[in-house]
Amino acid sequence: MKRILFCLLLAGTLHAQTAEELQIEKRSSFPYPTVSRNPFLPVGWVKPEERKPETQGTGSKAAPAAPTISTAFFRPEAFALTSISMSGTRAAVINGKIYNEGELLSVNVQNQTVAVLVAAIRDGKVILRFNGKVIDVPLRGGTPPPHASKPAARP
């Protein structure tokens, strides 16, 4: 038994390799890119460049002034509020289209399209905002529909 152990020990030392012989020739590497992408943004998304305000006196041309739009069109009669939904996400039908709170309503004025903000949707009215002016647009309607809680008359 001792001879077998001695032979195994002797064979193991003869075939033992040194640390230099065990070096790996090709190592895998995964370098990080210098600019990493935010994993929560869509693939291919690029941050829009911020526009710096042009200062006067630098010799640069000033941007042409935007034409001013009169707020004369901005009155409750100009908008047709026909329906309001108060359950869940508040929605309103204004001029035949569905809008939620915070959305922009496109209105054609003086051959231009302007955006009117749907500031709030309340029971029976919608609050709109344009150029700092706020108006309440009441719900238009004829006769209200009959309530289902009233029993129908039986002959």
Low-confidence ranges of the chain (pLDDT < 70): 7-22, 30, 32-37, 50-69, 141-155
3-state secondary structure 38-72: CCCCCCCCCCCCCCCCCCCCCCCCCCCCCCCCCHH
Closest by CA position to 127, among listed 111, 109, 105, 149: 105
Spatial contact of 92 and 81, defined as CB atoms under 8 Å apart: yes
Q: What angle do CA 44, 46, 50 make, to 5 degrees?
A: 170
Q: Which fold has domain 72-138?
A: SH3 type barrels. (2.30.30)
CA dist 116 and 108 (Å) reads: 10
- Residue 126 has what pLDDT? 95
For the chain, what are the domain ranges?
Answer: 72-138
| Single pTM value for the model | 0.48
- Residue 99 has what pLDDT? 93
DSSP string for 87-142: SSS-EEEETTEEEETTPEEEEEETTEEEEEEEEEEETTEEEEEETTEEEEEEPP-S
- What the block records as the tokens of 13 is 């030392």
